[in-house]
Amino acid sequence: MSAPVLESPQQPILSGLSTHLDSFFAARAAHGLYGAAIVVVHQGEILLAKGFGESDPIAHVPLAIETTVVPVASIAKAFTATAVMQLVERGLLDLNTDVATYLPGYELQASDASPVTIGHLLSHTEGFQECNLGIVATASEGLNDLADFFKTRMPRRVLPPGKHLTYGNWASGLLGLVVEQVSGLPFHQYVHEHVFAPLGMSSSTFEQPAPSQLTERCIRECVRDGKGRYQEAPHVYAKMAPAGGMHAGALDMAAYLIAMTGAGSYQGRRLLAEQTVRAMRERRFQAHPELPGITYGFFEEMRNGHRVLRRDGDSAAVWSRMYLVPEAELGIFYAVAGDEEARLALADALFDHLWPTGREAKAPRTVPGTDCRRFEGVYRYLQYNRDTFSKLQSLLVGQVRVRADRAGGLTVTALGAGDVYGGFEGTTRWEPVGENVFERTDGKARIAFGLDAKGEVETLCSSMRYQGGFSRLPRYEAAPWQFAYFAAFLLSAMISLIVLGSLALLGHVPLGPSGILLVLHSSLSALFGVMLLPSIFLIGNVGGGFPAYGFGINAWIRGILTLPLLLVALALGLVLGLGGAMTQEGWPVAVRALYGLATLSACLQVLWLRYWNLVGYRW
């Protein structure tokens, strides 16, 4: 963000940090935290390296910072970006060249001919749609073979490159493939030889599974069962290792932090040239002048008046974060186990200790004359999937409702299961601080709205989490209305089944061919309505925050997605049988009307199924 900023740069307060952290982690134990590791570097030296709690809460193994290995998930993307920039240094890659140039034999899907460059991939502005189908696994066979994976799973670009921030796994996965194609080495081998080895990161790897000498030192990911006992969470492998398949020695991370906050080297061994490190830390995209941006590998944040660069990693029960503070030559890495909320709480605690005064030049709290009603509506994250049934994910996550309040501000509510893209949680209040710009009432985040060519509000952008962009939806597309349609179809099926079935069983009306058809459709529709969301999102979900289809198309999903084909056929039968139903002997007017309304509902249901890509095995 261009504001707020400190009146003058300050040196961090480093004294007392260890004691401060001891108190913090002791307090978080009551919230489920069972282990944590933290490394802080400053001006080329390790300032602090500590472990807290246990690395294995079942066997009660203390967490030793010197030996503990951590699954760092998406922090892997920063190392992938580093590998790419090494190849740029060597003249083997060009940031402004179409990525297709480096991938002969692979065809990138796109909605138009605009090229996606290496720079777009590094800054997550490539415009790929999200697709979580089959991107993780519980077995490790073949996971390091990126070439085979991308032969059948090339991503599709749905937004113009360089215009929006569309965070996801596909950009980093594709960059890993580029590294392989250009270097001639498997990705994990290239990073081992050219990134980890120069830094002395002997406890870090992209291999899947990790070598046994590392897995035996890895923090054990555990969750509590209903009785409060720890159970080990199933391990999840990333099929695109460059996007999330890295394990790192907690102490290893100090070397990377020193290189990236300094001049690109560690203990005399060079990782990158100084100008390359500076290029990686430079802002490359900004959705709005009043919001932070993104660099080649890191998200910008404002923390107590200082520009910091951040990268997060989410695993089954371990949440990690890396910070670079270039102006202070300060770097931080930490991982917390068992308590996801501790990640954000620790960031607040750290920066409040390092820069407690926060002498910030505050912007005005309100902007007179702002008509907040023009921003009202429901917004959906930009990179939602357009092509497969996983479009349904946008019903449950990634939609937010914006409403104007009487005090001249806005409330933003995360709908469904919440939002990870823009970092919205629950309902928060925002006040205007500039043209189309609002600040959260605690002063720690901002949102900005974009306008179309006619001056109408079109998009919403966030300064939080992955700095997600959202587009305003027509009312009929918003999640509340879509769930209403879904409920109406289910209710129609239940009413038709109960009413006609009861009348037939009691002998008041004959079923006849039309009645049998309606009972079949209603039964199938009710079954589909009850089982759709649980089967797709829950059955087969073994951990890591992924929906069931993240692990592939299991038998439950395949079976449930067969039902829409039958519903389409039965809906057609209801339409063709409409004439017979209207003349069905023994049917009173009310039953004929019920058949007509049920037929209308069945036809509308087909349109709904097609909208959500549920007809025809769209995966």
pLDDT digits (tens, 9 = 90+) for 432-484: 999 999 999 999 999 999 999 999 999 999 999 999 999 999 999 999 999 99
Q: What pLDDT is attached to residue 357?
A: 74
Q: What pLDDT is attached to residue 411?
A: 98
209 upstream amide cis, omega within 30 of 0: yes
CATH of 17-354, picked from 3.40.50.1370, 3.40.630.30, 3.40.710.10, 3.40.50.620, is 3.40.710.10
Q: What pLDDT is attached to residue 536?
A: 65
* Alpha carbon distance 387, 476 (integer Å): 19
Q: Is the pLDDT higher at 358 or at 372?
A: 372
Residue 106: how many other CB atoms lie within 10 Å: 16
Q: What pLDDT is attached to residue 389?
A: 94
In Å, what is the CA distance from 597 to each residue of 105, 383, 590? 53, 37, 10
Question: In terms of Cα–Cα distance, which of 250, 202, 204, 200 is closest to 52?
Answer: 250
Long-range contacts of 255-260, Cβ-Cβ distance < 8 Å, separation of 24 or more: 255/199, 255/200, 255/201, 256/79, 256/199, 256/201, 257/39, 257/41, 257/322, 257/324, 257/331, 257/332, 257/333, 258/41, 258/44, 258/45, 258/46, 258/331, 259/199, 260/324, 260/331
* Alpha carbon distance 214, 197 (integer Å): 16
Q: Residues 432, 447: contact at Cβ < 8 Å?
A: no
**Non-local CB neighbours of 600 within 8 Å, separated by 6+ positions:** none
Q: What is the mean pLDDT of residues 235-262?
A: 97
pLDDT tens digits, one per residue of 539-596 = 544 445 678 889 889 888 899 999 999 999 999 999 999 999 999 999 999 999 999 9
Q: What pLDDT is attached to residue 7?
A: 41
Q: What pLDDT is attached to residue 5?
A: 45
Only one residue has tokens 């790929």, namely 128
Q: Residues 504, 510: contact at Cβ < 8 Å?
A: yes
- Number of C-alpha atoms within 13 angstroms, CB side, residue 605? 32
Beta strands in 387-489 (DSSP E): 399-404, 410-414, 427-434, 437-440, 446-451, 457-462, 469-472
| Structure token digits, residue 48 | 């602090």
pLDDT tens digits, one per residue of 72-126 = 999 999 999 999 999 999 999 999 999 999 999 998 888 788 999 999 999 999 9
CATH 2.40.128 boundaries in the chain: 372-473
pLDDT over 80 at 369, yes or no: no
**449-479: burial string, b at 16+ Cβ within 10 Å, e else:** bbeeeeeebebbbbbbbbbbbbbbbeeeebb
pLDDT over 90 at 537, yes or no: no
Q: What pLDDT is attached to residue 362?
A: 52
Q: Mean pLDDT: which of 5-14, 79-88, 225-234 is highest? A: 79-88
* Alpha carbon distance 579, 357 (integer Å): 78
Please report how the helices 253-261 and 274-281 are oriented relative to each other, as an axis angle in degrees rounded to 10.
Answer: 90
Q: What pLDDT is attached to residue 534?
A: 79
pLDDT tens digits, one per residue of 299-357 = 999 999 999 999 999 999 999 999 999 999 999 999 999 999 999 999 999 999 999 97
Q: What pLDDT is attached to residue 9?
A: 55
Only one residue has tokens 């649980």, namely 534
pLDDT over 70 at 382, yes or no: yes
pLDDT tens digits, one per residue of 258-294 = 999 999 999 999 999 999 999 999 999 999 999 999 9
Q: What pLDDT is attached to residue 366?
A: 63
pLDDT confidence bin for 139, thresholds 50/70/90: confident
pLDDT over 90 at 396, yes or no: no
Q: Residue 421 class from Cβ within 10 Å (0-12 exposed, 13-18 middle, 19+ buried)?
A: buried
CATH 3.40.710.10 boundaries in the chain: 17-354
Q: What pLDDT is attached to residue 129?
A: 96
To the nearest whole percent, how much of the chain has pLDDT over 90?
A: 86
Q: Residue 615 class from Cβ within 10 Å (0-12 exposed, 13-18 middle, 19+ buried)?
A: middle
Q: What pLDDT is attached to residue 95?
A: 98
Q: What is the mean pLDDT of the chain?
A: 93
Q: What pLDDT is attached to residue 554?
A: 86
Q: Residue 149 class from Cβ within 10 Å (0-12 exposed, 13-18 middle, 19+ buried)?
A: buried
pLDDT over 80 at 359, yes or no: no
pLDDT over 60 at 3, yes or no: no
User: Does pTM top 0.85 for this prediction?
Assistant: yes
Q: What is the CATH number of domain 372-473?
A: 2.40.128
Strands 35-42 and 377-381: unpaired
Beta strands in 548-599 (DSSP E): none
Question: In terms of Cα–Cα distance, which of 228, 587, 290, 529 is closest to 430?
Answer: 290
